[in-house]
Amino acid sequence: MVQETMEQKEQKNQEYNEYVKQVTPTHSLPANMLKAFITGGAICVVGQVILNVAAGTFGLDKDTAGSWCSLLLVLLSVVLTGFNIYPSLANWGGAGALVPITGFANSVAAPAIEFQKEGQVFGIGCKIFTIAGPVILYGIFTSWVLGLVYWAGMYFGWF
């Protein structure tokens, strides 16, 4: 066994660190923020167009138009996920595509599409909520905790 000297180990560490620096992608925070703003803004513009058309052209009230808007945005997201377009959009737009309701629909549809070859029960049924499940769980838990805080605040006169 050949023992390395400290100098050789240090040189190897330095070469490795240089290699890692070369292959690690660099990201520009302002550029990522601009992309997220553009993507999220475009999704909101589509939603606003749906609201305006539903209220103006079809004469729906505000709540019904909002429901149709949510349904159509989710449907559009799932269809774009099925054609493998939404993941590319999310990759480019980052949080701008992942935060709105369309991102949640994508997170439910993507595992279902990916695991459909394993069957209805063990594929789609078991894997559909692998990403969205924790979001649903923590969303429900957080709303319960906040409801409890609100109840306590009303009970004790804090609010």
Domain ranges of the chain: 30-128, 129-159
pLDDT higher at 127 or 108: 108
pLDDT band for 8, please (50, 70, 90 cuts): confident
Q: What are 78's two structure tokens?
A: 């799932």
pLDDT band for 117, please (50, 70, 90 cuts): confident
pLDDT of 119: 75
> How far is residue 2 CA from its own chain's centroid?
51
> With pLDDT > 90 as the criterion, what percentage of the chain qualifies?
55
pLDDT of 2: 57
- Give the tens place of pLDDT for each residue, 38-74: 999 999 999 999 999 999 999 999 999 999 999 999 9
- Using alpha carbons, select from 147, 146, 129 the residue that is nearest to residue 137: 129
Q: CA-to-CA distance for 129 and 138, rounded, in angstroms?
A: 13
pLDDT at 121 over 80: no
pLDDT higher at 130 or 73: 73
pLDDT at 130 over 90: no
